[in-house]
């Protein structure tokens, strides 16, 4: 029991490097990590605004816009995929998906788990660079 308490104490007061190892261990054990406040509030508001504009939601307050959006989602006449697809394409076009992935906390966590040798592609994937290619564009 004494050993466990000592280990827990050391884990609590561990260095930044050890915390990264703990995150990896947690990810490898659970298959996920939880990042709090990984995307800035200003970017979230920007994305919301762009989605409201795309869907032509013109209410005068954020609450009314949100309820109008929820009403649209709850009364879909098409599949959720067909509803989301143009929103996703628009966010990609506006560069907002890239901004999400480049948010410091999210980016650092992805790099910590997968390494820096990453490339972003807009077909719902993250591509690893291949060792025998000098550019991620040549991975196709």
End-to-end CA distance of the chain: 54
Q: CB–CB of 80/74 below 8 Å? A: no
Ordered per-residue pLDDT tens for the chain, 140 residues:
333 334 433 444 444 444 554 454 567 788 888 889 999 999 999 999 999 999 999 999 999 999 999 899 888 898 888 888 899 889 999 999 899 989 999 999 888 888 887 776 666 544 445 556 666 565 55
Q: What does each C-alpha distance from 43 to 14, 39, 51, 59, 111 come to in angstroms?
A: 32, 7, 12, 20, 21
- Contacts for 100 with CB less than 8 Å, ≥ 6 apart: 39, 43, 47, 106
Structure tokens at 28: 């490898």
| pTM of the model as a whole | 0.63
Question: Nearest CA to 118 among 103, 93, 139, 97?
Answer: 139
**Per-residue confidence (pLDDT) for residue 133, from 0 to 100:** 61
Domain ranges of the chain: 1-34, 41-94
pLDDT at residue 46, as a whole number: 95
What confidence score (pLDDT) does residue 130 get?
Answer: 52
pLDDT score recorded for residue 14: 45
């Amino acid at each position: 029991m004494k050993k466990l308490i000592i280990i827990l104490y050391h884990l609590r007061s561990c260095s930044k490097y050890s915390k990264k190892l703990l995150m990896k261990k947690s990810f490898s054990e659970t298959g996920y990590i939880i990042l709090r406040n990984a995307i800035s509030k200003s970017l979230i508001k920007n994305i919301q605004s762009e989605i409201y504009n795309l869907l032509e939601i013109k209410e005068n307050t954020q609450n009314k816009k949100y309820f109008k959006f929820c009403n649209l989602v709850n009364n879909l006449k098409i599949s959720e995929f067909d509803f989301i697809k143009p929103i996703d394409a628009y966010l990609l076009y506006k560069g907002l998906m890239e901004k999400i992935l480049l948010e410091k906390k999210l980016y650092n966590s992805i790099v910590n788990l997968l390494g820096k040798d990453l490339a972003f592609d807009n077909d719902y994937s993250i591509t690893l660079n291949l060792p025998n290619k000098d550019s991620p564009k040549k991975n196709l």
